[in-house]
Structure 1
């Protein structure tokens, strides 16, 4: 049976917990202390090109501050602070927010992890929803969207699963490897996920392993790949869009590649995290890049 392969390969880290030379393994654990503050620049880039010609490119950057509010023997409480992510190519919206919505411009996510840095829960979800609703109320009053579009936007806020998945996107990228113990033997896991297009539940297979070790520089290359069964994928789209949809989705020129690369120091601090998604379809390639850079 063929499978669609979402390539999530090559994570680069330095020793952030304990490296065991005998069994060639690494434990990915943070060493955070209360009142630690980490500051990052987030850069998002979207590029569309056909063959060798770039036909569209957009870039956006904003700041991130992560504060350790509490540290115990079995948990961390963190605060994730960013400004509203408004694309740089929308200066009129940015200017309006800076002038009229300063008190709503900053988004704060308070969340808890276990002692290994794995995200457990978002604590202040209700407060975040209120902030987003206020911002949407003000901005949508200035828009020309129809009733159907407005209803979809507010349904996104009110739906706990959709809204939580949205908030978790960056947290998942940042915390992906924390809590894992990896070696050169491939480890496989199966997880539930929601198809972002059809909103149907599906299964992903995740495979992790330690790829390479640079003992001199304490650099470790890790990999994770994800696969979804092709038949499951096609049946889901056929159910949603009709019996002929599989002719398009099965097109051999359709391909998705996802690359995530992370660099840690020996205290479990992420120095750089790059998430790259590339979609090829009928000769057109769309690339979406999100990068966290420690300041």
Structure 2
């Protein structure tokens, strides 16, 4: 999701960038104080599971490591390399296991502004070509899996452009830089409306957001930030229904739109951030998608080594 364009109430950064934590007025400015060649390594855990009538019917667990290196530092921007490695994937679904492993040993170069606010993926064409090459090899490995070519093609459509890669291929990085570039005050919430990418190819979803400073730890020099994001349920349900109708997989079994279950999508994120450097210490993001008695949950944890 693009960096917040919050309505009216955002308190933008002051010109004095020293001392991100101010206990005097209970405020925190989240800024990246990084130098060229700085490196931090992280463990990332991504878990996805489905609940139906409160019973777990499927579960996937992926763990990997990422080295984050500041490859360039200018007056108004950083160029940062995210190198992904050492994937382990726990799932009984062979197709899912193969598809989830395509990012192993990939290097993604990201540009932020001088505060650490995400701006773009610099080498998106290289990322796209790398993924195309890997998925082409998967077609042979997965030739016995029903509809494997169509499934792989749908996956690659998600990564076919700069915008889609920035929305879907770097969700851990978007989580990492989510709180950068804004000044927060303890006990106050920043609220507004943003747009979230729509992978069904229609217009973006309206999303209500709320950001807040939860805790200031002066002793350890860090703070905890939280966010809540809720996608417009009607827009999401309409887009899902239209996609399924066009896909044609369900045929006559697809109910009429007025009988189609309403879908909700809510994401909560909490990050502990080092005050002097802007490096993430620990971050957890939980997305819950609900349709009647079925709940799909995705949880990503980023933890500094």
TM-score range, shorter chain: 0.7 to 0.9
Equivalent residue number for residue 222 of structure 1: 225
Contact 2:229 / 2:266 at 8 angstroms: preserved in 1? no
Q: Which residue of the other structure, out of 279, 282, 287, is the alignment partner of 1:269?
A: 279
Q: Look up the SS of the partner of 1:171 in the other structure.
A: helix
For 1:193, the equivalent position in structure 2 comes to 196
Contact 1:75 1:114 in 2 (8 A): yes
Which 10-residue stretch deviates more, 60-69 or 164-173? 164-173
CA distance in 2, matches of 1:90, 1:146: 16
2:257 pairs with 1:245 = yes
8 Å CA contact 2:139–2:149 kept in 1: the answer is no
> TM-score, length-normalised on structure 2?
0.74
Q: Deviations over 1:193-242 (max 9, x none)?
A: 23334643232232223244444554534332324445555555666659
Q: Using structure 1 for the length normalisation, give the TM-score.
A: 0.76
Q: Supply the distance in 2 between the matched residues of 1:76 and 1:151 (Cα, whole angstroms).
A: 34
**Partner residue in 2 for 1:129:** 128
1:205 aligns with: 208
Q: CA deviation at 1:179?
A: 0.8
Match among 41, 54, 57 for residue 55 of structure 1: 57
2:97 and 2:154 map into 1 onto residues whose CA distance is 25
Deviations 1:28-62 (A, max 9, x none): 01221111111111111123334554333321211
CA contact (8 A) 2:226 2:271 kept: no
**Alignment partners' CA distance in 1, 2:50 and 2:98:** 29
* 1:118 pairs with 2:120: no
Distance, in Å, in 2 between the alignment partners of 1:116 and 1:256 is 29
**1: CA distance, partners of 2:291 / 2:142:** 32
- Whether contact under 8 Å (1:86, 1:93) holds in the other structure is no
RMSD: 3.6
Highest RCO, 1 vs 2 (Cα 8 Å, sep ≥ 6):
1
Cα distance in 2 between the residues matched to 1:91 and 1:202: 30
Aligned partners of 1:193 and 1:210: how far apart in 2?
Answer: 23
Tell me the distance in 1 between the aligned counterparts of 2:34 and 2:290.
40
In structure 2, the CA distance between the partners of 1:193 and 1:47, relative to structure 1 (3 Å rule), is: closer
DSSP-derived class of the 2:90 partner: coil
- Asked if 2 retains the 8 angstrom alpha-carbon contact of 1:64 and 1:81, the reply is yes
> How far apart, in 1, do the equivalents of 2:295 and 2:257 lie?
21
Cα pair 2:289 2:297 within 8 Å, conserved: yes
Distance 2:278 2:35 in 1: 11
| 1:30-49 pair list within 5 angstroms | 30-49=32-51
Which residue of structure 2 aligns with residue 11 of structure 1? none
Partner in structure 2 of residue 138 of structure 1: 137
State the match for 1:79 in structure 2. 81
